[in-house]
Structures are given as structure tokens and as C-alpha cells.
Structure 1
């Protein structure tokens, strides 16, 4: 092990947003189980995430909203006024048993991660990455905005420059709102063009704080490599960050139902490895990811990359059994490769002219 630490919690185990919701799947528990079964997660590197106290959430979220979220969990219902004002009790952000405790634990994990890397180091907080949460309302499956709260903590402990890299299939609208115009946080987002929340156009630089890379459907490994090498890495290196926060959403891979991108999980792992030398501190969160098998495999590989573990070509039976035990309300079953390996086969392809043009268009911000 290289000193990397992993943050998890039992609050995620068995927690569901609802039977037919995209987050009706096990994600963080599957990652924990896989990594333990592979011998990658000894007790000394695992930290149990605390649940953030309400006062720790109000650096970004309103006091009224945090109280409404707590009250909704206690009552397991919301009024029409609360639904309208705060976005609680909707199809995307439903009432469910852990609707306050679960996001508050993800946020607490982010705050703990910030404290753990204060003097340097790397942390994986797969329960985090909820980048759509807004100051006064839930949005896009996100009740609280863990990346914003975590970066606010990093700044509060004295860091001056943070590079926020987001490779989720959806644009990080909540983070962009929080740090618009910032000279301390440089945001770089790769996301599918024309997909909800329909923000993050290439010409939108969030007041000079953001580089947005909206990509077309079918976005492949070769195209990702071009943007990583020609835009993302140079931009991060030029910023000279005191810390890097990588939001490593797993929904840009081919098998995910909520995007039309075509990446392998190798892109995410290569991003982790390439960013790590560019700052003394790094936090890697989860994010999107709505296929239980691809998400568990991808985030397990993130931890292997951070901790220096060797990913086997074929999984031992004990780990395959964990993957076989996952369920999904959608039709269809995973391919055998998704049950017996962690690494996807590469998914290269032609680099389209619109990707090259996108790299040239945003290149003016790399300085």
C-alpha cells in the first residue's frame, strides 16, 4: 500500500432510492466487498465516514433546506410546498429512509477526506461526488453537494488552489454555481453534450473558473485520451494545484443506461494515475453510475490504482460471486466479462473532427 485511504460506511448497504429509481442498486457496498475479498482493503487503510453535522452543511446549503431534508427523513413524507421549494419528494429525488443520513454521510466522508489530505496524501470516497446538489434544493439524485463542501473545507484549512476534474457523463452544474468566478478553484468537466442538466457549454467558462468539454454520443477511448493529454493534464499542471479533486462518475462507460458515451473503465483509471503526480493531495470521489456491475468494477479499479494494488486478469471465484449477487431492476443480465474481470477491453475508435476542434477551442484557457 502507498498510504492511500478509503472512506466507506454501512449506511449505503441496502439503501435504495426506490425500486425503479436508477439508484436502486448497490454501489459502494459492492466496491468495499470486492476490495476486501481481493485483499486490497486492510483495516488500517479503511476509515468509517462520519455523518456531517447540519452546521457543516450550511457553508453551501441554506439552513432552511437542511432542516427540510432532516424533517422529510423523519416524517417520510413532504408537503407540496416543500416539494416545490426544495425539490424533495420528486421522481428524481424521492423520499426514502436514509434521505438525510446517506447524503450527510457522503458529505461527512468528503470533509474527513479533506482533513486526511491536509498534510498530503490520497483518499478514495466512492460515496461522494454528488455534484448536482443546489444551495436550496435537491437536484439530479443529489440531496447535498459533497464536492462543494469538501473543497470549501480544503480552502478553509489553508489551501490556495484546487483543481476540480469531473469525468461524470453529466455536467457538474452545482459545483459550477458554487465556484463561478473563483480564482482558487479551476473546474474541468468532460460530459455528454445535450444531456441533462443541459449546462456546461464549451463557451461557458463560469466567469473564468471552468473549462467545459461537452462531447458527442459515442465518445470513445481514443477521443478521451486526446482530451486528457491535450487539455485536462496541461490545464491542471499549469494551475499548480495544492489539491486535486477528481469526480470519477462511472456513467460514461458503454453499458451505463443514463448516457450514450462509449468509454472503457481504463479511461477513468488512467485519469487517476495521470493526475496523481500533479499535486501532493488528491481526493477521488464516486458520482454517477447506474449499472451495478460496471460501477462496482470501475470504482474498485480506482482504489487499486490509488493504492498500488495489482488488478488480476481474471477475478477469483469469491469476487465473481459478489458480482453475480448484484441485482438490477432493468431487463437483461451482464456479460460474462462483467462478472469475471475488473478491466474492460479497450474501446478505441476514430477521433472525430469535432473532438479535435473542441480541444482547440478550449485550449485558450490552458495557461
Structure 2
């Protein structure tokens, strides 16, 4: 069965300024790799629609969304030292959120289906009412709420970005219908993600130092997934697939290789049984 690769051309429109690490070339490289002839038989391309306001308000309050829209209408500007809304960044953010929503729809449309959402700008640092860490809208949180709206009540989010998904944790840490497993470098930006941060028993943080053997990261992430699934069956698995956890990334110190993340994805599918993986 092919994997739905969901994308939107407007994701390339976000411009954070010269020299900023969150640049359009990142999404271009992902899409180029997925268009390799060797993958043609395994990929079904799906262009998303921008996220509607109704879906955004399941996570973000109207006042916050209005403020972002107003800033975009003025041509953009900085929201913090790292997070800059460029002239067309709001258009990109709506497209990115729409990619996340459509990926959920594709993932749950067929038994055994998988979907990959190529999102940009990223999202897991965005709080409900605050942009930070290059993120404006929390794409994976929007995806989880959309899935629940479509009947998938229990959702697990697995985040292997090298930075802790503080926004995702803050949004769901009091909601037992969503479980979060996050493995991240610690201490590191944004400073959250200690193992003692458990929410209502639904948060499973795996803080780790840089430079460990790659097998240790894989073992510890999958161990946390096992703990999160103990006595609890998800109806959907969402992966915040930040690839800055790979060896050599300039903003992190993990040692993972692509085959390690492939192993983690395969194990997620096996351990989650019939739940779709997006």
C-alpha cells in the first residue's frame, strides 16, 4: 500500500530572514527526496487545502490568531528573537496546518494506511497563545484535535525532534485522551521536558544528553512508547518527526542515523497494532 505524502506549495513562502536556519530549502530538500524515482510506486501525492479557522480554534484562541493575522497584514515582524513572521509566513502557516489536517484524513481513510505530512513552518514549540522556537501554529496538536473530531478519541504523539515539544506538552498535559512521548536533548532549548514532568500521567519524557550511542536513543524512545501503551490503546499515532535528531545537525548533538528512525517508525506501527501512523 502506498503512503500518502501531503504537501502544499505555500509552505515554501515563509521567510524568517537571511541566515535563519528555518529556511525554504529545508522543505524543498524533503520534497525532492520523496520525488526520487525509486519511491514513485510507493508514494501518492496529495495537495492539502489551507487549514480553516474552525480547526485552528480547537487549539489556539481567537485573540492569538487575530494577532498573527494582523501582524501579517502589516508585513510581518519578529515575535521573539528566533521567531519571525515574514510577509507571507501566515499563508505558509495556514498551509502547513492544512497539511497536518489532511494527513490525518488520509491516514485514517484506509485500514493499514500511513501518511506523511511535509509541514513548514514547524509547530511543536507553539503554545496555544504564543509563537516561539520558529513555530506559529502547533501542527501536531491541530492534527490530534482534528482526529478526535473525526472519531479517533485516543491519540498518541511521538516526538523525536532533538528539542522538547514544549508547546505540545503544554496543550495536552491535562488531557488524558492524548498521550505524548518525547525524546529530546536535555538540558537544551527550550529548557522543558524533564522526566518528572508527567502531566496527568499522560506525558512520557525521555531527556537525554548528546553523544550517546545511537542504539541507546532507539532503545530508550521505544521503551517510553511501550510504557505509554501499557493498558492503553491508541486509535491514531502521530509522529512529530523532527530530523534534527540525526547525527551532524548543527543545532543538536544526537547521533541517530536515518535507519534508526526507520526502525522506530516500523516499531511504532507494530506496537500500535491497527492504529494508523501519520
Task: Please say if residues 77 and 89 of structure 1, whose CA atoms lie closer than 8 Å, have aligned partners that are also in contact.
Answer: no
SS at match of 1:213: strand
Question: In angstroms, what is the RMSD of aligned CA positions?
Answer: 2.1
Alignment of 1:126 with 2:118, yes or no, is yes
**Bigger proportion of residues as strand:** 2
- State the 1:207 CA deviation: 2.0
Task: Please say if residues 246 and 254 of structure 2, whose CA atoms lie closer than 8 Å, have aligned partners that are also in contact.
Answer: yes
Task: Please say if residues 184 and 207 of structure 2, whose CA atoms lie closer than 8 Å, have aligned partners that are also in contact.
Answer: yes
Question: Counterpart in 2 of 1:282?
Answer: 276
- State the 1:188 CA deviation: 0.7
Alignment of 1:28 with 2:21, yes or no, is no
Q: Tell me the number of residue pairs that the alignment of Structure 1 and Structure 2 aligns.
A: 274
Closer, same or farther: CA 244–94 of 1 in aligned 2, 3 Å: same
Closer, same or farther: CA 44–163 of 1 in aligned 2, 3 Å: closer
* Partner Cα distance (1:43, 1:98) in 2: 32
- Give the alignment of 1:1-367 within 5 angstroms: 2-13=1-12, 15-41=14-40, 45-78=44-77, 88-119=78-109, 120=111, 121-127=113-119, 130-236=123-229, 238-277=231-270, 278-284=272-278
Task: Please say if residues 118 and 157 of structure 1, whose CA atoms lie closer than 8 Å, have aligned partners that are also in contact.
Answer: no
SS at match of 2:207: strand
Q: Point out where structure 2 has 5 or more consecutive residues left out of the alignment.
A: none
Closer, same or farther: CA 11–42 of 1 in aligned 2, 3 Å: farther
* Partner Cα distance (2:141, 2:220) in 1: 24
- Larger RCO (alpha carbons 8 Å, 6+ apart): 1
Task: Please say if residues 5 and 116 of structure 2, whose CA atoms lie closer than 8 Å, have aligned partners that are also in contact.
Answer: yes
Closer, same or farther: CA 46–201 of 1 in aligned 2, 3 Å: same
* Partner Cα distance (1:95, 1:126) in 2: 19
